[in-house]
Structure 1
Amino acid sequence: MTVQDPVGADPHSCEEYGYGLGRPDGILILKYRSGALLDFGESRQDFLHQFYWSPTGVLATRHGTRTGFVGGGEVFWVHRAVTHEVRAADQQTVYRVCLRQVPPALADLRAGAAAIGDEAARLLPTIARKGYAEDAALAARARIMVGLGAPAAEPSAGPAGGPGFAMTVARAISHDPGDPTRLDEWADRLHISVKTLQRDFEREFGMPYSRWRTRLRLLASRVLLETHPVTEVAHRVGYASPSSFITAFAREYGYTPGRHTPRETT
């Protein structure tokens, strides 16, 4: 299995872990951590399926004319022979996983966001380390494959009951951090009370909806700031004015977004 290195990610580190390479049930995991923008550029693999996952931030993705974001509860899945682009911000960990087989739930998806279950999210970092036994890693790989699935239904449909309301909303907003929908509007779509949805956010993410949305918007902005001016980024991630965006950004990170100078991309 061979993959290309990302571009424009200096300095960055890449750790490589391969198990059963050359076999249909093999897996190759590339673990990146960058001190600057992590830009995989325009990429295409004719013989390998791939997915990208970041447990520490937001991924900016593009496939054809579709652009968007993927949060930590999802991966960006890419079928072989599909051209795509992925970017991450500085100080962000990204797992790029290469496979020869397609997870059952993703058989009809050429490229796009897909859910990653809790067990799969736990197992992936576990096998991405030195000295892990191949047999155990391949057994974990099989469970990771099962743990990748289609995203939850759109919030307008709502889950069939029980927990998961906050995650349904979080996945929708992760695709568009600038979404202006209020908490009460999400609750109406899900046919639940505002109190129930707020409580589910605090249970799932340890913070209220407004705080979670602000953090997501700022994480997404860090990816965009490397290639877009502050004013454009502010509106893209849902702020009414650049000044309100700058204030929120400085409060979160201790410096202003002007520190990120847009650079040319190819």
Structure 2
Amino acid sequence: MKNVSLADYDHVDRAVLPIGTDYPPGQLLDWHEHRRAQFLYGVTGVMIVDTPEGTWTVPPERAVLIPATTRHRVRMDGVSTRSLYVEPDAVPWWPATCTVVDVPPLLRELLVAAVEFEADYSLSGRAGCVVALLLHEIAARAPLPFHVAIPAAPDLAVICRAYLAAPDAGITNADWAARTAMSERAFTRRFRAQTGESPAAWRTRARLLAAVPLLRTASVTEVSGRLGYASPAALTAAFTRAFGLPPSRFSTTPLGAGPS
């Protein structure tokens, strides 16, 4: 099914409902939750999924597994999706938090085929076999590190979300500590306890994640300058170290080119 509302079909007696949706540029799906678990795959574009616990950046040709009843919002940047909405008891292995995964060719083609099915597709025919194979393929996917944690403390969460909206290479631990009226040492200890990493490491990952949507319309050279890296090589080294792939893999613009 394509461009239909889940609410209109959630009652259908199928453990998996495949739905494809085309979104206008810049679409924001504000805070909401689904009774079912969701496998959200972007055929095109970049998605940014927020929950109260973290932010997940989903590059092109990747997907995010969203647990059932997880409150979330999604920012769509040129995205056409292929989603599966799955009854929780059908996937006891589903992760407890959002998880970004790769989508290899077989899984991609199964998703493309599945969204053409009617809501009440035959469980014993081809459609039922495709859906069963989809769940096997999703269960085999390994998590990718395209996320940062958001602290539970409201004051720290505000600082982190502001940084995600406008990453600044000049921000220091001392700057953040001053905003919370804490010593730098106490702030760093508190931040690490809530996120599992130091403020500096968190900001580094946040800046690298910010590169992913920028690379849709800008070159690696341009993105490195906008994010405060000394050179494209410096951005490439940091990005590859964090994510296992160079930023050029996500760019549609030649290295030295920018918009004309």
Normalised by the size of structure 2, how large is the TM-score?
Answer: 0.50
For 1:64-103, list aligned pairs within 5 A: 64-90=52-78, 92-101=79-88
Is the 1:55–1:72 contact (alpha carbons within 8 Å) kept by the matching residues of 2?
yes
Tell me by how many angstroms 1:15 deviates: 4.9
CA 1:88–1:103: 2 relative to 1, 3 Å: farther
Question: Equivalent residue of 2:45, what SS?
Answer: coil
> 1:221 aligned to 2:197?
no
Is the 2:16–2:86 contact (alpha carbons within 8 Å) kept by the matching residues of 1?
yes
Is the 2:20–2:81 contact (alpha carbons within 8 Å) kept by the matching residues of 1?
yes
Structure 2 unmatched ranges of 5 or more: 149-166, 168-208, 236-250
Structure of greater Rg: 2
Match of 1:128 among 115, 121, 127: 115
CA distance in 2, matches of 1:80, 1:109: 9
Match of 1:38 among 27, 43, 47: 27
Identity %: 14
Q: Aligned residue for 2:48?
A: 60
Is the 2:65–2:95 contact (alpha carbons within 8 Å) kept by the matching residues of 1?
no
Q: Aligned residue for 1:107?
A: 94
CA 1:82–1:53: 2 relative to 1, 3 Å: same
Structure 1 unmatched ranges of 5 or more: 1-12, 154-170, 179-215, 257-266
Tell me by how many angstroms 1:255 deviates: 4.0
Is the 1:26–1:138 contact (alpha carbons within 8 Å) kept by the matching residues of 2?
no
CA distance in 1, matches of 2:128, 2:9: 7
Tell me by how many angstroms 1:19 deviates: 8.8
CA distance in 1, matches of 2:117, 2:141: 32
CA 1:94–1:222: 2 relative to 1, 3 Å: farther
Is the 1:115–1:150 contact (alpha carbons within 8 Å) kept by the matching residues of 2?
no
CA distance in 1, matches of 2:105, 2:71: 28
Is the 1:75–1:115 contact (alpha carbons within 8 Å) kept by the matching residues of 2?
yes
Tell me by how many angstroms 1:139 deviates: 1.8
Tell me by how many angstroms 1:140 deviates: 0.9
1:27-69 residue CA offsets vs partner (Å, 9 max, x unmatched)? 3233222332122211212x21112111223221112231131
- Larger mean CA deviation between 29-38 and 79-88 belongs to 29-38
CA 1:139–1:239: 2 relative to 1, 3 Å: farther
Is the 2:117–2:127 contact (alpha carbons within 8 Å) kept by the matching residues of 1?
no
Question: Equivalent residue of 1:140, what SS?
Answer: helix
Normalised by the size of structure 1, how large is the TM-score?
Answer: 0.49
CA 1:224–1:60: 2 relative to 1, 3 Å: farther
